[in-house]
Structure 1
Amino acid sequence: MTVQPSGAQQPHVERPAGAGALSAAASSTTGAPTAATGNPKALYGGTGTRRITVHDISAAKERGEKWPMLTAYDAMTASVFDEAGIPVMLVGDSMGNCHLGYETTVPVTLDEMTMLSAAVVRGTSRALIVGDLPFGSYQEGPVQALRSAMRLVKDAGVGAVKLEGGERSHDQIELLVRSGIPVMAHIGLTPQSVNTLGYRVQGRGEEAAQQLLRDAKAVQDAGAFAVVLELVPAELAAEVTRVLHIPTVGIGAGPDTDAQVLVYTDMAGLTQGRVPRFSKQYVNLRRALGDAAREFADEVVGGTFPQEEHTFH
Structure 2
Amino acid sequence: MPTSRRGDGHPSPAAVSAVGLRKAYGDKTVLDGIDLHIPSGTVFALLGPNGAGKTTAVKILSTLISADGGQARVAGHDLAASPDGVRAAIGVTGQFSAVDGLITGEENMLLMADLHHLPKREGRRVAADLLERFDLVDAAKKPAQSYSGGMKRRLDIAMTLVGNPRIIFLDEPTTGLDPRSRHNMWQIIRELVTGGVTVFLTTQYLEEADQLADRIAVLNDGRIAAEGTADELKRLVPGGHVRLRFSDPSAYRSATSALGAVTRDDEALALQIPSDGSQRELRSVLDRLDSAGIEADELTVHTPDLDDVFFALTGSAAALRSDQPKEDAR
Of Structure 1 and Structure 2, the greater strand share is in 2
TM-score, normalised via structure 1 length: 0.30
